[in-house]
């Protein structure tokens, strides 16, 4: 009997945005390839290190590799074997952790997210910006912040959303390309949201006091707010992936956040949403990241055994609202998970803007949304009522595309590969044709009809739809 046998008849519908994601994905794949050639990363100016940045529990994959018997340590090995046997017994008798391919969405999550809402209505793609649907984009993100009245003026469609009932966004070919995942119905989760919020506010205040964050948020590529990225990344002229490095005081702030159980719960939910709505993308992440961690055990994902995502950014605000942008350094077909936090009126500000789809989505505090952030131009409206104590923060998880390229090239950069004898031909063979890469990437997106089968295929879980 599976975990899902007691589920009611499921309804799987979504918001049809009547656009084909393929041309946008082609653009994102092309940009990603260029980024890797240029050795560009998503480090936000932070250096990478091959040293551990924080004490953390070993990943399961590392625990498995610890089974090697060391000469002269037989007794120690026996104790380890017993311990391993106990752990194996516990694993069989406790819920599976969120390990890739062993992960299964919890029954609670499945009940909550199996019944998806549908908003009828199609966009008129002929009114969308010229050139955006075919080939390279002629318009690039303007890196400006858009207000709700401006977007209404431009004819954007407002999606009212309370942040609880899940909704999927479906493209004209029936692919699920984004999800308004909401939050679990478990009342304890509301407590986790409140505690995560408090921890991030605390980090911002302490950071300002000890000088590890600027007294006034400075403008950066994505907006004017304090942000701390962390985890495993690639780029910045490095020859291999590394852990994002911060000065000790800022790292101490990060460690407190990463060790916070409420933050971990949010991270786990974000990762579960990726597995639940994008099982084949999740599988692809696992098939790249596990070899990466095996090859480079010094890499420290933020939430081992909790989240598949290797990197995370805490956008501490106090008025987090991103400019119009795409995250070109992320995996082109990947999904960025965003959880909004803070105290603000989501009907007036803090909306998620999806420029390519001409949508403005209400994004209440505590809710989670997953979008293909390399593919879709996105941003936020500013919150209203800043002077009255309103604030907005967000926690995002994502994956740098350079990591997968580095794995794909045999744990080396394009430059290194090209410097080897026969490297050019090997690189061309690995890269393949853009059309083939596009087809492979598109196949990772489930349709409403295929989602249940894709989940079953990837996670070995069968349940009705």
**What residues line the site for Fe ion (CB under 5 A)?**
327, 373
Q: How far is the CB of 140 from Fe ion (least distance, A)?
A: 15
Q: How far is the CB of 373 from Fe ion (least distance, A)?
A: 5
For Fe ion, the closer of residues 283 and 327 by Cβ is: 327
For Fe ion, the closer of residues 16 and 374 by Cβ is: 374
The secondary structure of the chain, three-state, reads CCCCCCCCCCCCCEEECCCCCHHHHHHHHHHHHHHHHCCCCCCCCCCEECCCCCCCCCCHHHHHHCCCCCCCCHHHHHHHHHHHHHHHHHHHHCCCCCCCCCCCCCHHHHHHHHCCECCCCCCCHHHCCCCCCCCCCCCCCCCCCCCHHHHHHCCCEEECCCCCCCEEEECCCCEEEEEEEECCCCHHHHHHHHHHHHHHHHHHHHHHHHCCCCCCCCEECCEECEEEEEEEECCCCCCCCEEECCCHHHHHHHHHHHCCHHHHHHHHHHHHHHHHHCHHHHHHHHHHHHHHHHHCCCCCCCCCCCCCCCEEEEEEECECCECCECCCCECCCCCEEEEEEEECCCCCCCCEEEHHHCEEECCCCCCEEEECCCCCCEEECCCCCHHHCCEEEEEEEECEHHHHHHHHCCCCCHHHHHHCCCHHHHHHHHHCCHHHHHHHHHHCCCECCCHHHHHHHHHCCCCCC
Q: How far is the CB of 400 from Fe ion (least distance, A)?
A: 13
For Fe ion, the closer of residues 114 and 321 by Cβ is: 321
For Fe ion, the closer of residues 284 and 327 by Cβ is: 327
Q: How far is the CB of 322 from Fe ion (least distance, A)?
A: 6
For Fe ion, the closer of residues 168 and 328 by Cβ is: 328
Q: How far is the CB of 76 from Fe ion (least distance, A)?
A: 48
Q: How far is the CB of 377 from Fe ion (least distance, A)?
A: 9
For Fe ion, the closer of residues 318 and 334 by Cβ is: 334
For Fe ion, the closer of residues 42 and 171 by Cβ is: 42
Q: How far is the CB of 395 from Fe ion (least distance, A)?
A: 13
Residues sharing a CB contact under 8 Å with residue 326, sequence separation 6 or more, in sequence order? 28, 141, 373, 374, 375, 376, 377, 378
Q: How far is the CB of 371 from Fe ion (least distance, A)?
A: 8
For Fe ion, the closer of residues 192 and 337 by Cβ is: 337
For Fe ion, the closer of residues 171 and 327 by Cβ is: 327
Q: How far is the CB of 396 from Fe ion (least distance, A)?
A: 7
């Amino acid at each position: 009997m599976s975990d899902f046998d007691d589920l009611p008849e499921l309804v799987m519908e979504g918001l049809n945005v009547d656009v084909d994601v393929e041309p946008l994905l082609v653009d994102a794949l092309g940009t990603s390839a260029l980024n890797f050639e240029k050795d560009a990363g998503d480090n936000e100016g932070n250096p990478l290190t091959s040293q551990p940045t924080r004490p953390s529990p070993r990943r399961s994959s590392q625990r498995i590799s610890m089974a090697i018997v060391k000469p002269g340590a037989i007794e120690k090995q026996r104790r380890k074997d017993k311990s391993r046997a106990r752990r194996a017994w516990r694993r069989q008798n406790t819920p599976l952790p969120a390990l890739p391919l062993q992960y299964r969405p919890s029954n609670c999550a499945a009940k909550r997210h199996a019944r998806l809402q549908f908003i009828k209505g199609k966009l008129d793609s002929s009114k969308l910006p010229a050139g955006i649907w075919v080939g390279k984009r002629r318009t690039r993100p303007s890196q400006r912040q858009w207000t709700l009245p401006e977007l209404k003026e431009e004819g954007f469609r407002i999606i009212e959303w309370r942040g609880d009932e899940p909704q999927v966004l479906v493209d004209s070919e029936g692919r699920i390309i984004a999800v308004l995942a909401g939050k679990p119905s478990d009342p304890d989760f509301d407590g986790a949201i409140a505690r995560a919020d408090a921890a991030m506010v605390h980090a911002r205040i302490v950071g300002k006091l000890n000088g590890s964050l600027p007294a006034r948020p400075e403008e950066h590529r994505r907006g004017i707010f304090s942000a701390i990225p962390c985890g495993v990344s690639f780029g910045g002229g490095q020859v291999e992936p590394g852990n994002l490095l911060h000065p000790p005081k800022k790292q101490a702030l990060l460690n407190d956040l990463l060790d916070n159980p409420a933050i971990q719960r949010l991270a786990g939910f974000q990762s579960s949403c990726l597995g639940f709505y994008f099982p084949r993308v999740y599988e692809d992440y696992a098939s790249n990241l596990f070899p990466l961690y095996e090859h480079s055990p010094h890499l420290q994902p933020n939430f081992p055994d909790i989240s598949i995502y290797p990197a995370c950014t805490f956008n501490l605000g106090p008025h987090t609202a991103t400019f119009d942008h795409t995250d070109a350094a992320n995996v082109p077909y990947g999904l960025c998970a965003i959880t909004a936090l803070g105290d603000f009126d989501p009907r007036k500000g803090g909306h998620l803007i999806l420029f390519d789809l001409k949508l403005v989505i209400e994004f209440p505090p505590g809710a989670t949304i997953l979008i293909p952030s390399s593919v879709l131009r996105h941003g936020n409206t500013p919150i209203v009522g800043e002077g009255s104590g309103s604030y907005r923060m967000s926690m995002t998880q994502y994956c740098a595309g350079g990591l997968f390229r580095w794995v794909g090239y045999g744990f080396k950069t394009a430059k290194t590969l090209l410097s080897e004898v026969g490297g050019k031909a090997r690189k061309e063979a690995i890269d393949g044709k853009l059309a083939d890469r596009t087809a492979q990437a598109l196949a990772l997106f489930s349709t409403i009809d295929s989602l249940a089968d894709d989940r079953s295929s990837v996670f070995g879980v069968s349940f009705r739809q």
